[in-house]
Chain A
Amino acid sequence: MGVIKMERKKLSAMERLYLPEILKGMGVTIRHLVKNLFNMKQLPTIQYPEVKRVYSERFRGRHILTTREDGTTRCVACYMCSTACPAECIAIEAGEDERTREKFPVRYDIDLLRCIFCGYCVDACPEDAIYMTRDYEMAIDTRARSVVGLRDLVVPPNMPVGPMGWRPYYGSMTKVGTAGGTGAGQELRQPPFPDEAPPNPDLFRGGNAS
């Protein structure tokens, strides 16, 4: 390890003339222009929303609540996720199933405007009940709609792994995360997006409709 002194050289007469340096600079930009013109596929720009970028399998997007084979939610309302949440955006109300005496959530609200998408709820869940998806399109038009309830979060059983993002880790993931696109020349998806239909057609209906 050493120290390098950055030299501050005075501009030479040629450089002070201004024009030669401008031409040299133009050379750089024109090289980029030509390279891009003949290599449109390599352009880093994405024509969103017509074309979408593929995010990795670990993407921390909108949450879902998974279900068992029989269609009941896996969540047992243990409050681990809401305890682990640094943003305190999860509100749960527990109820008891009269037949099985199982605990289950009567209300499960996530305020997506408070959520910081850190994935701690997924790490905290002992029941494999909350996952994050690769869904990042969460625009809403009123603040009230930012609160999503059970109805928006619960997905049917045997949900395909395709749109899944951040899931339980430490060995439980079926395969080690694969890379998504990489900027230029990245993997892109063209429309239509059949498997990207949101798990619930009433997505972001908002409110505590459950």
Chain B
Amino acid sequence: MSTLTRSSSLPYTGPAPTNRLPYVPHNVEAANARAEAIAQKIGGGMLSPVPGHDAPTFAVTRESILDALRALRDDADFAFTMPLDLFGIDYPDRNERFDVVYHLLSIKNAERIRLIVRTDADTPLPSSLGVFEGFDWFEREVFDMFGVRFEGHYNLRRILCHEAFQGHALRKDYDPGKRWLLTDKDVAKLDPIITVEPEHHDFEQVTLNLGPSHPATHGTLRMAVTLDGEKIIGMDTEIGYLHRCFEKMCETHTYNQVVPFTDRLNYCSAYINNVGYAMTVEKLLGIEAPARAQHIRLILSEFSRIADHFVCIGANLVDLGALTNFWYLFQPREEILQLFENCCGARLLPSYVRIGGLPIDVPHNFLEHAQRIVDMIPKYVDDVDRLITRNRIFHERTNGVGPISAEDAIRFGFTGPCLRATGVPYDVRVANPYLGYETYDWDVPVADGGDTYARYLVRMEEIRQSVRIIRQAIKRGLPDGPVMVDDPYIALPPKERVYNEMESLIYHFKLIMHGIQPPIGETYFQVEGANGEVGFYVVSDGTKNPYRVRVRPPCFAIYQAFRHMIVGQTVPDLIAALGSLNIIAGELDH
């Protein structure tokens, strides 16, 4: 037994499994007190605090939800100005079966709150577009998935499922195995809403279809633009081509089985999704991964971020005709993927976390390899910098292209580099630090203008800052110890013990067959993804399968604003701006 990596002495003598107990968040008292304070200030009886959550949570009635949202947004102290997420949860046994959850973010206080409205399938909710325009696609998604209607929404149609789809996929009584065939005649014609008055009435207006397999969309996005001469005067988008029922599949799989699915959200930086999901479930379980695992998670997350920015900048420049940079950026990216492959055996979709830590320790030469990569990255980034940043063609293609103001960006729920390019220094790693980001010395880059050029500048600097973080992390070295928590109800026992001991075999068997069973409750956790805040909302009913997993995909919020950013410009501008938003179809379509 000398080769064991974990020191636990089985049989396990710790506390019994937490099965069927309610979840008590670590900050429950602070959250309850904060909820009371907010309810008192906003008042009017609109907000009734629901205690026991990890963030201030309120039950709101259908009638007062708009007033509550408006009051929270306009209050100068709380300033919940950003619409973060809007989703449904189905409890079919209840009279009003749907919970519609509004998540709001206050950038000023780095604080999130939740408003829960109950409704049934027949009673519509008032559309909140008048208060938060950024809930546009989120309301459509709730309608698509649950059949909850929003009165006053200008375009309430399906968004992720196709037109021939019958029923509402995330309702609990919807059979996950059901399939619907989409035929050619069902495909809806996109009809762009004209938002700019055409200048030239002597031209015929042309509606041009772009995608879903257009080389510049780098994914399956479909757009239709109405052109007046060369100017785009109207635009409509259709998404859902890569919809893989991520959230429905989570409900039929165990907590650990969801990890490979999260890979496929933002596949350019899959590891950050892995970490975000695992940390959410760890929060629900009330555990923390060991220090060594957290350190490895941090290093690999930053490498993922760099790789994602490489893909974004590289592909964006290819769209603009600058192919060379793509090769320069993909060479260090290749090294990063190699590092992942050495750690876990897969390059792009690592699945290199488990709930409670990592499945296996890193190779012995992990830090040297990481050091070699961070020494290599700046050379290539500097080459791209020299080629592009002061280049006149690039300037003229990107300056003032696809601009968005800071107010609009917040209104639409922008996060990540696209928000920082408008000058708002909001980064989850600073606002709500996790994995020890607060102990590192690094800066948040911002730019002004919010256009394609600003987004390029921010991403380039973020690569350098990530390199800075990794350098410090390497210098500190990996802490000794295990990479997995010592709890047989969460972590699989060492294989040698499984082969040789009865108790370990039983723990192993129980964990594979019955999975991890977290306490009953719900929690939200967010990490800074490569293109914004990636949040997971997990509802547990105490069984081995999550009752509901909600992912907050950052590009979903960003892409809905694309129409507003691009109207009035030309099709070549659209290509340039689209690449700089880093829309990843896997994440956009869940």
Contacts and interface: CB of A to CB of B under 8 A. Distances in A.
Interface of A: 1-6, 8, 11, 15-16, 18, 21, 24-25, 28-29, 32, 44, 55-56, 58-60, 80, 83-84, 86-87, 116-120, 123-124, 126-128, 132, 165-166, 168-172, 176-184, 186
A176 B338 contact: no
| Closest 6 pairs (CB-CB, A-B) | A58-B345, A60-B345, A170-B494, A6-B447, A172-B495, A86-B257
Contacts of A169: 359-360, 495
Contact of B454 (A1, A8, A32, A118): A8
B537 interface: no
Interface residues on B, range: 35 or more
Nearest to A26: B387
Interface in B323-346: 324, 328, 331, 334-335, 338, 341-346
A170 B441 contact: no
B392 A21 contact: yes
Given A25-B386, A132-B345, A183-B331, 6 more contacts: A6-B457, A8-B454, A16-B392, A86-B261, A165-B345, A171-B4
A92 B512 CA distance: 16
Interface in B1-27: 3-6
B31 to A, nearest CB: 25
Contacts of A166: 345
Given A8-B454, A170-B492, A3 B425 contact: yes
B492 A128 contact: no
B28 interface: no
Contact of A179 (B359, B369, B440): B369
29 contacts: A1-B430, A1-B440, A1-B444, A3-B443, A3-B445, A4-B445, A6-B458, A8-B453, A11-B395, A21-B392, A28-B387, A44-B331, A44-B334, A56-B341, A56-B345, A58-B344, A118-B346, A170-B6, A170-B360, A170-B493, A171-B5, A171-B496, A172-B496, A177-B360, A177-B363, A179-B342, A180-B338, A180-B341, A184-B331
Interface string B362-389: 0111000100100000000001001100
Contacts of A116: 260, 349
Nearest to A3: B425
Given A5-B447, A177-B342, A15 B335 contact: no
Given A25-B386, A171-B494, A176-B361, A83 B513 contact: yes
B72 to A, nearest CB: 26
Interface of B is mostly: helix
Contacts of B430: 1
Interface string B392-404: 1101000000000
B563 to A, nearest CB: 25
Nearest to B499: A128
Interface string B516-530: 000000000000000
A59 B495 contact: no
A83 B349 CA distance: 21
B518 to A, nearest CB: 18
Contacts of B302: none
A118 B446 contact: no
B434 interface: no
Contacts of A165: 345
Contact of A11 (B345, B392, B493, B508): B392
Contact of B449 (A8, A119, A177, A182): A8
